[in-house]
Amino acid sequence: MKIALRTLLATAMLTVPATAFADAVEITLWHMEQPPHRVDRIQMLIDEFNAANPDIVVSQEPQNWGEIYAKAPAALAAGTGPDMLFAIPDFAPILKEMGALTSVEDFVAELDAEHDFVDSTIEAYSYDDGVWAVPLYNMTLNLWYRKSVLEEAGLDVPTSWDEWRAAAEALTTDGRFGMGLPANRQLYTDQTIYSVMVNGGASEIYSEDGSLRFDNEDTVAAYDFYNSMMEFSPPDATSWTWGEAEACFASASCGMIMQFTVISTYENQAEGDASDLGVAAIPTRDGSGDNATIAYANAVLLLSQEEAEREASQEFIRFLLQPENYGRFLNMEPGLFMPVTADGATADSFWSDPVVQEYRDQIETVIENGQNGKLFGFTSGRVFPAIASISAQNVLAETLQSVVVSDMDPADAVEAGQARMEDLSR
């Protein structure tokens, strides 16, 4: 027994990881794509890369969005952080403020010349005289529905807010909710309320000079409309994250939902009939057809300060963006991650995936809708550091909760929301 304990103790003390190759450069990738099949796909690409580049050893450590806000800064401050981190635009300013980022402008220019990035994806990381990350994959919110369900109710796909509300009302029947909309103080709700805002003329929360302009009539109108839709959403929507919305749609308890994609859930946990799955742009306030949506240009942040590690990281990113690899990378979750490069959008490796082939119509629609993607706080070509706190504290969603949960008047709530943003900018 004693010997066993001593062995255990020795095992626990083994803190030094075994080095694979004595002179190879070892780099670590952190990302928040934790579901097992995504991790597998990334590992497959890493293995190929490592085999082709014997002098570099890449390894991945999947992390969780819930913890990363505490963990990444702490680990970087302690010198134990990763060399690469996949993240969203909101996250970059946090690390930039602590001096962990170096501009990758030249590297992005090199890749842009070769693959031609979608401009808005670079813009989300371009500010303060630098480009702070390399765009990797895009995500946009869309309106998902079942064609048969709309038909049965004699409805067309809604294009204006009035039609949208009428459709939600008509689809709300015994045991079904017309429109599953979250009202949680969480990122998903930030995304859905902002997607409504951008379609009601309230895409900017900052003026050019950096002053907040969140508190305006258009924002209030968007909150007012969103609140009026909540009566057609399940009662527990105030605690929803992405998963609950998808489950609601998959079980046909929700007539429509706003989501990045529902394809893999629909395929694996629901009927999986590709011809019945509908996707449309998020309706605009007046039905003008000039639809916009929220777009998350996910990117990779280069975090190592050492030249050799940076070089190795860049080599890995070059590898990922090669059209023959890039499609397989994006298809770690078919229908969720959209290409950010021109040659990626036409790549065989992207379109040849069986699920992508089956849902080709839907994915083409998603890509098309993404052309007019925006992200709050990143729309004006300048980024104000407080956006990181505003996003991390989910102020947009918090404001919505004031309306939906606390029955506050939308105008008062939006005013309070702006005050909160100002407080966070302190």
Q: Pick from 69, 148, 160, 218: which binds another protein (CB under 8 A)? A: 69
Q: How near is the Cβ of 108 to another protein at its closest, in Å?
A: 25
Nearer to another protein, 8 or 109 (CB): 8
**Residue 10 touching another protein (CB under 8 A):** no
The footprint of another protein on residues 252-311 (CB under 8 A) is: 252-253, 260, 264-265, 268-270
Nearer to another protein, 7 or 288 (CB): 7
Nearer to another protein, 28 or 369 (CB): 28
Q: How near is the Cβ of 424 to another protein at its closest, in Å?
A: 6
**Residue 94 touching another protein (CB under 8 A):** yes
Q: Which has the closest alpha carbon to 137: 341, 322, 323, 365? A: 341
**Residue 419 touching another protein (CB under 8 A):** no
The footprint of another protein on residues 181-240 (CB under 8 A) is: 183-186, 234-239
* 111/315 Cα distance (integer angstroms): 11
Q: How many CB atoms lie within 10 A of CB 40?
A: 10
Helix (H) or strand (E) holding 61, with range, is strand 56-62
Q: Pick from 280, 342, 392, 416: which binds another protein (CB under 8 A)? A: 392
CB-based contacts of 384: which residues, under 8 Å, 6+ apart? 206, 210, 377, 425
Q: Pick from 24, 26, 53, 62: which binds another protein (CB under 8 A)? A: 62
Q: How near is the Cβ of 51 to another protein at its closest, in Å?
A: 21
Helix (H) or strand (E) holding 53, with range, is none
**Residue 39 touching another protein (CB under 8 A):** yes
Helix (H, G, I), strand (E, B) or coil at 373: strand
Site map (CB under 8 A) of another protein, residues 124-163, x = contact: ----------------------------------------
**Residue 389 touching another protein (CB under 8 A):** yes
What single string gives the DSSP state of each residue in 316-361?
HHHHHHSHHHHHHHHTTSTTT-B--BHHHHT-HHHHTSHHHHHTHH
Helix (H) or strand (E) holding 230, with range, is none
- The DSSP secondary-structure symbol of 378 reads S
The footprint of another protein on residues 322-381 (CB under 8 A) is: 333, 336
| Cβ(134)–Cβ(300) below 8 Å | yes
Q: How near is the Cβ of 163 to another protein at its closest, in Å?
A: 26
Stretch that binds another protein, among 116-124, 177-185, 210-218, 338-346 (CB under 8 A): 177-185
Nearer to another protein, 17 or 381 (CB): 17
Q: How near is the Cβ of 69 to another protein at its closest, in Å?
A: 5
Report strand pairing: 56-62 vs 25-31: parallel
* 94/91 Cα distance (integer angstroms): 6
Nearer to another protein, 108 or 171 (CB): 171
| Cβ(408)–Cβ(207) below 8 Å | no
Q: How near is the Cβ of 30 to another protein at its closest, in Å?
A: 8
* 286/70 Cα distance (integer angstroms): 42
What single string gives the DSSP state of each residue in 238-284?
GG--HHHHHHHHHTTSEEEEEES--HHHHHHHS---GGGEEEEPPPB
Nearer to another protein, 19 or 268 (CB): 268
Q: Pick from 54, 210, 243, 289: which binds another protein (CB under 8 A)? A: 243
Stretch that binds another protein, among 247-255, 274-282, 358-366, 367-375 (CB under 8 A): 247-255
Q: How near is the Cβ of 160 to another protein at its closest, in Å?
A: 28
| Residue ranges of E strands in 159-235 | 177-180
Q: Which has the closest alpha carbon to 94: 126, 124, 72? A: 72
**Residue 36 touching another protein (CB under 8 A):** yes
